[in-house]
């Protein structure tokens, strides 16, 4: 039971940190990192759900673990892609943040 609480609290903390970062960061890499921290929180929440059943006869619930696995694959793919994109943007324009000018 105690591990369950740890996971839940951890997930909540990571989520808060991630969301805060995503809303305040300017630099692209910081932004990407913040979103990754946020996704870490989501994964931990899923693990917490899985851990609920840990004490019972059936053992930990495998379904949320499968979900986490898929989630990680998605998060890693997007992260890899946006990092490459950020490098390319930097190389082309020297910018490290999203442009704010109005679309004209």
Binding site for other proteins (CB under 8 A): 15, 22, 28, 31-32, 35, 38-39, 41-42, 45-46, 49, 52, 63-64, 67, 70-71, 74-75, 77-78, 81-82, 85-86, 88-89, 92-93, 98-99, 103-104
State the minimum distance, in angstroms, from the CB of residue 60 to other proteins. 14
Whose CA is closest to 11, among 40, 33, 34?
Answer: 40
| Residue closer to other proteins (CB basis): 2 or 101 | 101
| Residue closer to other proteins (CB basis): 2 or 91 | 91
Helix (H, G, I), strand (E, B) or coil at 7: helix
The string of DSSP letters for 36-86 reads: HHHHHHHHHHHHHHHHHGGGSTT-S-HHHHHHHHHHHHHHHHHHHHHHHHH
Q: How many residues does the chain have?
A: 104
State the minimum distance, in angstroms, from the CB of residue 35 to other proteins. 5
């Amino acid at each position: 039971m105690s591990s369950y609480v740890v996971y839940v609290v951890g997930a909540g903390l990571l989520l808060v940190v991630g969301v805060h970062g995503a809303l305040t960061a300017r630099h692209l890499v910081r932004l990407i990192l913040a979103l990754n921290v946020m996704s870490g929180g989501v994964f931990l929440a899923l693990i917490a759900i899985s851990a609920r059943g840990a004490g019972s006869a059936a053992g930990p619930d495998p379904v949320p673990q499968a979900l986490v696995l898929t989630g990680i694959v998605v998060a890693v793919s997007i992260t890899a892609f946006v990092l490459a994109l950020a490098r390319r943007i930097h190389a082309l324009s020297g910018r490290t943040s999203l442009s704010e000018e109005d679309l004209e």
